[in-house]
Amino acid sequence: MSYVDGVIAAVPEANKEAYIEHARQAAAIFREFGATEVVECWGDDVPEGKINSMHTAVQRKEGEAIVFSWIIWPSKDIRDAGWARMMEDSRMAGQEMPFDGSRMIFGGFNRVLEA
């Protein structure tokens, strides 16, 4: 089965278009380095929980939206190699993220079910 990187972030609503452009550029590079799919989702119906939620997980501030994203890779090995190349790529080196990356949550996941 393929390998998945998942990301949740808080992005200022005023930076929506800048975020989409940043994501578009990054997606092209991810695909070049082996990703089969890159999906970016802008929060539309993200409830705040009583104990925990996506809002608290990323310390969302007033005026920010929750973004949920994932990248599909053919395997973890291809993902690891793709990320290594991504970190060395000059096209990414000068990019400024249109959100606070320190509050971004991310991780790699093995698929256990595809239905």
115 within some domain? no
62 within some domain? yes
> Which CATH number do you get for residue 99?
3.30.70.100
30 within some domain? yes
Report yes or no on whether pTM surpasses 0.85.
Answer: yes
pLDDT at 1: 80
Q: Which of 100, 12, 111, 24 has its CA nearest to residue 69?
A: 24
21 within some domain? yes
The two tokens of residue 3 are 């390998």
pLDDT at 77: 97
pLDDT at 76: 97
Q: Which of 107, 10, 100 has its CA nearest to residue 54?
A: 10
pLDDT at 10: 98
59 within some domain? yes
Domain that holds residue 49: 3-110
| Biggest CA pair distance of the chain | 43
Cβ neighbours of 44 (radius 10 Å): 7
Element (H, E) at 26: helix 16-32
pLDDT tens-digit series, residues 78-110: 999 999 999 898 888 777 889 999 999 999 999
* Integer Cα distance of 105 and 96 in angstroms: 18
Q: Residue ranges of the chain with pLDDT lower than 50?
A: none
* Integer Cα distance of 26 and 24 in angstroms: 6
pLDDT at 114: 85
What total of structural domains would you count in the chain? 1
DSSP bridge pairs for 55: none
